[in-house]
Amino acid sequence: MTTDEPIWLTPDEMRAWRALHAAVVVLPAALDVQLQRDAGFSHLEYLALAGLYEHPDHTLRLSDLAALIGIELSRVSHMVARLEKRGLVLRRPDPDDARCTNAVLTEQGQHQVTSAAPGHVATVRKLVFDGLDATALHELQKAADRIVAALSMTDLPLAPTIRKSLRPTE
């Protein structure tokens, strides 16, 4: 006999879900506060600038940048326009495909992101890693990898790029 009844979360699963949800909601807000205070830009702007900084020639297609930081192309386009007005990035046609636009990190943008990085890393360390021992860190990584694997198998628009964007740089 089959049933269409939902399989409800157990009390342990509900506690874990609520803790994960709180972390997913509050952590980006806390990172925003620190970055706005110390560097004058949002967490998403920092992710975009850092993503550009880490890529060859400090250049990415807007679509790749959107996938990297997990927002829609139209939203990244508006964000890049704001960063361009501040002299942190330039928009240039992609030489390999004129239909696409690249974001290019300027020298000023490089300076801004490298200046902001130490404070950002200190905040991430304080809020995430300082409370974890080696075992907890390993378990966090395993759990996050499993969640990312499940997400990458969905038909969500950004799902195919999740794994690619989270690979460590070599």
Closest CA to 51 of 71, 41, 65, 36: 65
- Give the C-alpha separation, 50 to 44, whole Å: 10
C-alpha torsion sign, points 53, 77, 88, 123: negative
Residues paired with residue 90 on neighbouring β-strands, in sequence order: 104
Contact 125, 118 (CB under 8 A): no
What is the residue-level pLDDT of the chain in tens, covering all 170 positions?
567 889 999 999 999 999 999 999 999 999 999 999 999 999 999 999 999 999 989 999 999 999 889 888 999 999 999 999 999 999 999 999 989 999 999 999 999 999 999 999 999 999 999 999 999 999 999 999 898 888 878 777 665 555 555 555 44
In Å, how far are 1, 82, 135, 141, 156 from 129, measured between CA atoms?
47, 32, 12, 11, 29
Q: At 41, give phi and psi (nearest 5°).
A: -140, 165
Token digits of residue 92: 């240039």
| Per-residue pLDDT reduced to its tens digit, 28-60 | 999 999 999 999 999 999 999 999 999 989 999
- The 10 Å Cβ neighbour count of residue 76 is 23
pTM recorded for the entire structure: 0.84
Token digits of residue 86: 């501040």
Closest CA to 63 of 76, 79, 44, 45: 76
